[in-house]
Homo-oligomer: A and B are copies of this chain.
Amino acid sequence: MSLAHVILGLLQQQERTGYDLKTKCFDDCISHLWQADQAQIYRTLDKLESQGWITCNVEIQHDRPNRKVYRITEAGEAELTHWLQTHHPLPVLREPLLVQLYFAAQLPNEAIVYLLEQELEARQEKLAQCETIEALSLSNPTASREQKLHRLVLDLVKQREQTYLDWLEKAIATIRSQST
């Protein structure tokens, strides 16, 4: 499971709680990279701990639930380093919109255009989210090796969205220009 390795990567940066991982990491910093559900994060932390790849230190709190602070172990670092250098199969992508277009021959042009316009809007919003994350990243003035890699990743994600936007505009124009 890759989520386990994303978490190992985040814990290698610094020790964190499940709550930190969800709010500060997955939601605020790497939502363009990997989305994760809170329940799955906690359950994956349990698995990583029982594997011996992370350890947990409980900070007692009285006004709210205790914080379980997780830290990567040497075995965890070794596992991460190994995983980082292993090629993984391309993820399978299943896009409802493409299925809709594929089977849309019976629909009137206006219905198809409407569908494409809604997708365009959703994709524009997603690109905007990427740009928010980019702004956050660029606000950090250091040009470390890590920063450069983060920007490379953002470049792809943004370019991917731009490819969709360009294609959607072309597709809308194509459908509109048709008689039927």
Contact = CB atoms under 8 A, between A and B. Distances in A.
How many monomers of this protein are in the complex? 2
A2 interface: yes
Contacts of A167: 155-156, 159
Q: Max chain B CB contacts within 10 Å: which of A33, A91, A92, A164?
A: A33
A85 B115 contact: yes
Given A9-B102, A85-B111, A90-B122, 4 more contacts: A91-B93, A98-B157, A101-B152, A105-B145
A94 B2 contact: yes
21 contacts: A5-B96, A35-B92, A81-B106, A84-B100, A84-B107, A85-B115, A87-B118, A88-B96, A88-B100, A90-B119, A90-B122, A90-B126, A91-B93, A98-B156, A98-B157, A101-B153, A102-B149, A105-B144, A105-B149, A148-B174, A156-B163
A176 interface: no
A39 interface: no
Contacts of A102: 9, 30, 33, 149-150, 153
A84 B160 CA distance: 24
A123 B102 CA distance: 23
A171 interface: yes
